[in-house]
């Protein structure tokens, strides 16, 4: 049994998969009376080194972030290539896909979780850090994303 | 178009529908190294005055709350009676069902949202306050729960 794996229980982000990021961003901005953020594409595979189920993938997504209290709400519109984002959209439709936690030593934590029966689904790099989506669905009923930011 | 309806954009709670609250609570407690909370039943309809899709319902649920940073993660195990909890489980399976916001003037906000095309799904009373689940799925891709606490 995995115990206190992350060294954190602070939810830093909620990720929602959407089909039309412009439309849903506008709906959030209107409903909550906040500014509509500029959506942007994740980096191409050459920079992001995106791997999904152990294989390199050209998959990208458009992202938009909203500050909603102490955490961020992230809207994610997947492209057509294989990814955890695309898979979620095809199997669940639009909705909450992940909760995210900032960790230190991401690589070690991924290893510990994999050894403990929580496989790595997808990982990649972004400017200033890296992420890993872990298959925690059986135990926690939601995907956990680990985020590690460079110091 | 509804604009800045709630007077808040602070997510106070994430609600996850589960089939076995004891098992999932234990998994959360273990994984995050935190204490397993005592699950408890929502009040019976006589106290809770639970209404689902405009009709009184005897539906109840077991709840367990975890403090995860500045917000609560709520696990919800529905009983067999008709409710938004049961409906979510039957149509989506286990997973994140709602995000919640504390509001003032819940009744008025429900009315404004209903008039604006976001129907009331379910409402009820709890000790110290009341809740309303709103059908914001078309626009926001997740159910929004309003919480109003007595002063």
SS (H, E, C) chain A: CCCCCCCCCCCCEEEEECCCHHHHHHHHHHHHCCCCCCCEECCCHHHHCCEECCEECCCCEEEEEEEECCEEEEEEEECCCCCHHHHHHHHHCCEEEEEEEECCCHHHHHHHHHHCCCCEEEEEEECCEEEEEECCHHHHCCEEEEEEECC
Q: Which of B11, B68, B99 sits opposite A9 (nearest CB)?
A: B68
Assign domain B13-149 to a CATH class: alpha beta
Cα–Cα distance for residue pair B91/A99, rounded to 1 Å:
21
Question: Nearest C-alpha of chain A: how many angstroms from B82?
Answer: 22
The pLDDT score that the predictor gives to residue A151 is: 87
Question: Does residue B128 sit at the A interface (CB-CB below 8 Å)?
Answer: no
pLDDT in tens, A27-63: 999 999 999 999 999 999 999 999 999 999 999 999 9
Q: What is the DSSP letter of B38?
A: P
Asked if A11 and B99 come within 8 Å (Cβ–Cβ), the reply is: no
> Considering only CB atoms, which chain A residues are within 8 Å of B18?
141
Nearest CA in chain B to A95: B141
CA distances from A43 to A62, A104, B13 (A): 10, 22, 31
Give the span between the Cα atoms of A109 and A118, in whole angstroms.
Answer: 11
Q: Do B95 and A94 touch (CB under 8 A)?
A: no
Looking at residue A1, its pLDDT comes to: 64
- Which two three-digit tokens encode residue A63? 């992202």
* A9 interface with B at CB cutoff 8 Å: yes
Question: Rounded to whole angstroms, what are the CA distances from B77 to A10, B12, B22, B141?
Answer: 23, 20, 9, 21
* Chain A positions in Cβ-Cβ contact with residue B139 (cut-off 8 Å): 24, 27, 31
Q: B140 at the A interface (CB within 8 A)?
A: yes
CB-based contact (8 Å) between A2 and chain B?
Answer: yes
Closest Cβ opposite residue B71 in set A28, A69, A95: A69
pTM as predicted: 0.96
| Ranges under pLDDT 70 in chain A | 1
Does A22 reach chain B within 8 Å, measured CB to CB? no
pLDDT, tens digit, for every residue of B40-75?
999 999 999 999 999 999 999 999 999 999 899 999
Of B28, B68, B70, the CB nearest to A69: B70
pLDDT band for position B3 (cuts 50, 70, 90): confident
Task: Give the three-state DSSP class for B106.
Answer: helix
Binary contact (B71, A99; C-beta < 8 A)? no
Among B83, B100, B81, B86, CA closest to B143: B100
The model's pLDDT over B106-150, given as tens digits with 9 standing for 90+, comes to 999 999 999 999 999 999 999 999 999 999 999 999 999 999 999
Q: Given CB atoms, is A68 within the 8 Å cutoff of chain B?
A: yes
ipTM greater than 0.85 = yes
- Chain B positions in Cβ-Cβ contact with residue A33 (cut-off 8 Å): 3-5, 9
Record: contact B2-A94, CB cut-off 8 A: no
Pairing mode of beta strands B13-17, B95-102 = antiparallel
């Amino acid at each position: 049994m995995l115990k206190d794996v992350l060294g954190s229980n602070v939810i830093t982000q909620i990720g929602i998969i959407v089909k039309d990021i412009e439309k849903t961003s506008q709906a959030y901005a209107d409903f909550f009376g906040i500014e509509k953020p500029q959506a942007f594409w994740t980096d191409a595979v050459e920079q992001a080194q995106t791997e999904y189920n152990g294989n390199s993938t050209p998959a990208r997504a458009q992202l938009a972030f909203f500050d909603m209290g102490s955490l961020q709400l992230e809207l994610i519109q997947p492209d057509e290539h294989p990814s955890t984002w695309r898979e979620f959209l095809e199997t669940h439709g639009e909705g909450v896909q992940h909760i995210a936690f900032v960790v230190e030593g991401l690589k070690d934590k991924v290893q510990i979780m994999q050894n403990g029966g929580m496989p790595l689904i997808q990982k990649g790099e972004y400017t200033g850090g890296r992420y890993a989506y872990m298959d925690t669905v059986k135990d926690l009923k939601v995907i956990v994303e680990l985020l590690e930011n460079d110091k």
